[in-house]
Amino acid sequence: MFDDKKVIFSGMQATGNLTLGNYLGALKNWVDICEDYLTFFCVVDLHSITVRQDPAELRRRSRDLLTLYIAAGLDPEKNCIYYQSHVPNHAELGWILDCFTYVGELERMTQYKDKAAKHADNINAGLLTYPSLMAADILLYQAEYVPVGADQKQHLELARTLAERFNNVYGDVFTVPDIWLGKRGRKIMSLQDPEKKMSKSDENPNASIYLMDDPDTIRRKFKRAVTDSIGAVKYCDEQPGIRNLIDIYCSCTGKSTEECEKEFEGQGYGVFKEAVGEAVVGVLKPLQDRFRELSADKDYIDRMILQNDEKAMYYSEKTMRKVRKKIGFPERPRLK
């Protein structure tokens, strides 16, 4: 809580091309819920370097991601949209929380295990301590709610544990955050293997819809989406491919599962897949147009970056002053 307003914090990494999963699981929810809260939406570039990055590419992608937040409908005059690396308090609190996190807790994280297996030649300490930095991001702004996809649940639980652990030693310093899962789109699955989540690092380009895919590519990918031989548009466990397509369709159109099942009753998968493709094009096309427009307006984006850096510094510094004092770091002397 700051200024009598509840706080929302979330972030995304600027690595790889964003997918429909990132949009429906996270970004779209941010836009839907941001009203009435004090909000911070961060491009978490410190997190990105746990995996080796090309510098020019990282810089470009980070800028694109920040622009995309705005293109998706987050007004940067109202929502604090900024780069993590511009606010050193993230790194400082990250270190402090490292000292309150047990190695065993970090080694249990499934994302760590997955990434360590994938990058066996670079299992660096940052990959392991990633979740305490993520906790720092959230606790720095006293966030009540963190809108993310279901895959981030384990990290959020650690953030809660660390807030409680710290508060038990030093009194009430941090707000204990809650995960905010959207009603739909919590876990969008791969179009080629509906048992796997849609991921920007999937090697098969047909498995994911990228936010910048052109309309024909989107239509084609849905046409090729893996379904089953049952032949009915029904939301059930036996039909994971169809269930995923229903989730996507409802998420993009605002319709309910029942409405969708009814709409496509007695119709083949071809008609349904085409409709899902059109629904996604209808959502992504305006986003892409707005993105291109904004990208061309360099001054506007630069101004928003500077303005929001200050805002993020202002609020995070409030928390950090308290933390430094509680821990026992010496105050900066003031000369008379």
List of residues contacting ligand ATP (CB under 6 A): 12-13, 16, 19, 21-22, 25-26, 148-149, 151-152, 185-188, 197-201
Binding partner selected for residue 47 from ligand ATP, ligand LTN, none, CB under the kind-specific 5 to 8 Å limit: ligand LTN
> What distance in Å separates the CA atoms of residue 291 and residue 70, rounded to the nearest whole number?
8
What's the count of helices (H) and strands (E) in the chain, helices before strands?
Answer: 14, 5
Give the residue with the Cβ less far from ligand ATP, 86 or 200.
200
Q: Looking at residues 28 to 67 of the shown chain, list those that interact with ligand LTN (rule: CB under 6 A).
A: 44, 47
Q: Which residue has the tokens 């999937």?
A: 202
Say if residues 101 and 63 touch (Cβ distance below 8 Å): no
Question: From the CB of 47, what's the least distance to ligand LTN, in Å?
Answer: 5
The residue number with the shortest CB distance to ligand ATP is 25
Two tokens, residue 320: 């950090």
- Whole-angstrom CA distances from 56 to 62, 63, 171, 282, 324 are 10, 11, 44, 32, 35
Using CB under 6 A as the binding rule, whether residue 9 contacts ligand LTN is answered as yes
Question: From the CB of 47, what's the least distance to ligand ATP, in Å?
Answer: 8
> What distance in Å separates the CA atoms of residue 258 and residue 254, rounded to the nearest whole number?
12
Using CB under 6 A as the binding rule, whether residue 10 contacts ligand LTN is answered as yes
DSSP SS3 for 201:
coil
> What distance in Å separates the CA atoms of residue 281 and residue 20, rounded to the nearest whole number?
11
Give the residue with the Cβ less far from ligand LTN, 138 or 245.
138
Contact map string, positions 151 to 190, toward ligand LTN, x by CB under 6 A: -x--x-----------------------------------
Question: From the CB of 195, what's the least distance to ligand LTN, in Å?
Answer: 20
Binding partner selected for residue 146 from ligand ATP, ligand LTN, none, CB under the kind-specific 5 to 8 Å limit: ligand LTN
Contacts of 110 (CB under 8 A, 6+ apart): 154
Question: From the CB of 44, what's the least distance to ligand LTN, in Å?
Answer: 4
> What distance in Å separates the CA atoms of residue 238 and residue 82, rounded to the nearest whole number?
43
Helix axes 269-296, 55-71, angle to 10 degrees: 110
Give the residue with the Cβ less far from ligand ATP, 112 or 166.
112
- Whole-angstrom CA distances from 251 to 27, 147, 164, 223, 257 are 12, 16, 35, 19, 10
Q: Which residues participate in catalysis according to the annotation?
A: 115, 197, 200
Question: From the CB of 301, what's the least distance to ligand ATP, in Å?
Answer: 21
Taking the CA atoms of 238, 242, 248 and 252 in sequence, report the sign of the dihedral they define: negative
Question: From the CB of 148, what's the least distance to ligand LTN, in Å?
Answer: 5
Contact map string, positions 129 to 158, toward ligand LTN, x by CB under 6 A: -----x--xx-------x-x---x--x---
Give bridge partners of residue 197 from the DSSP assignment.
189
Give the residue with the Cβ less far from ligand ATP, 119 or 200.
200
Binding partner selected for residue 21 from ligand LTN, ligand ATP, none, CB under the kind-specific 5 to 8 Å limit: ligand ATP
> What distance in Å separates the CA atoms of residue 69 and residue 295, rounded to the nearest whole number?
12
Give the residue with the Cβ less far from ligand LTN, 146 or 250.
146
Give the residue with the Cβ less far from ligand ATP, 6 or 187.
187
Q: Where on the chain is the footprint of ligand LTN (CB under 6 A)?
A: 9-13, 44, 47, 134, 137-138, 146, 148, 152, 155
